[in-house]
Structure 1
Amino acid sequence: MFRPGDVVVYTKTKHTTSPGPRAHDVEPESRGEYYTYAVDKYWLVTGVDAEGIHCRTRRGKTHLIAPDDPRLRPANLWEKLFLRSRFPSPA
């Protein structure tokens, strides 16, 4: 499904005291000052092999994601056009 050079969106779950501006699906804890929320990460596929899908962030970090991870999806046209500055460059 994914090939090297594809741009993907990974929805990462976070748990902190203050959600950032890009947070969505924000849920407060029942008794406490923490929030659980999701943030979309914009990555580039650098390779696909038997281990999984290798992705790179804008800052150069690499991640190995399982091919059946439901939090990983291809970027849609809207994201490719209007959020292209959030994706890493292919070079």
Structure 2
Amino acid sequence: MQANWREGDWAVYRKSKQGATPGRRASQVIASSKGETYRYVVDKFWVVDEVLPDGRLRLITARGKVHTIESDDPNLRRPGFLQKLLWRERFAVVEASRDNVSHSERQTGAVGA
């Protein structure tokens, strides 16, 4: 269980996807039986916007989308020291997005799709 998340913490979320053309950041790519589609995972770089009273996390993406997930979700992890160095530009984009969207807009769900 991931404990002690705080507002502003960097987070990496491993998201499962399916499609005809996996992107360059796709990993664990598995072709369907006929090879028409692929299942794969992509690392998403998010920042903790708020730790909710029930322990769930409100995370914000580089495009300003908001996701609320359990703090112990197995797909959620903290980046290690080396990953922080390698991915610092990605997290800087997310932090800039977070700064551009007011807290009230995030709470009302005005940020979006």
- CA–CA distance in structure 1, aligned partners of residues 82 and 62 of structure 2: 19
Q: Could you tell which deviates more after superposition, 44-53 or 4-13?
A: 44-53
Q: TM-score, normalised by structure 1?
A: 0.92
Larger % of strand: which?
A: 1
Q: Which amino acid aligns with 1:29?
A: S
Note if 1:24 corresponds to 2:27: yes
Note if 1:56 corresponds to 2:60: yes
The residue aligned with 1:37 is: 40
Note if 1:78 corresponds to 2:82: yes
Give a deviation string over 1:19-41, Cα, whole Å, max 9, x none: 00000000001124000000000
The residue aligned with 1:7 is: 10
The residue aligned with 2:103 is: none
Q: TM-score, normalised by structure 2?
A: 0.75
- The CA RMSD over aligned residues, in Å, is 1.3
Which structure has the higher relative contact order (CA within 8 Å, separation 6+)?
1
- CA–CA distance in structure 2, aligned partners of residues 51 and 9 of structure 1: 18
- CA–CA distance in structure 2, aligned partners of residues 78 and 69 of structure 1: 22
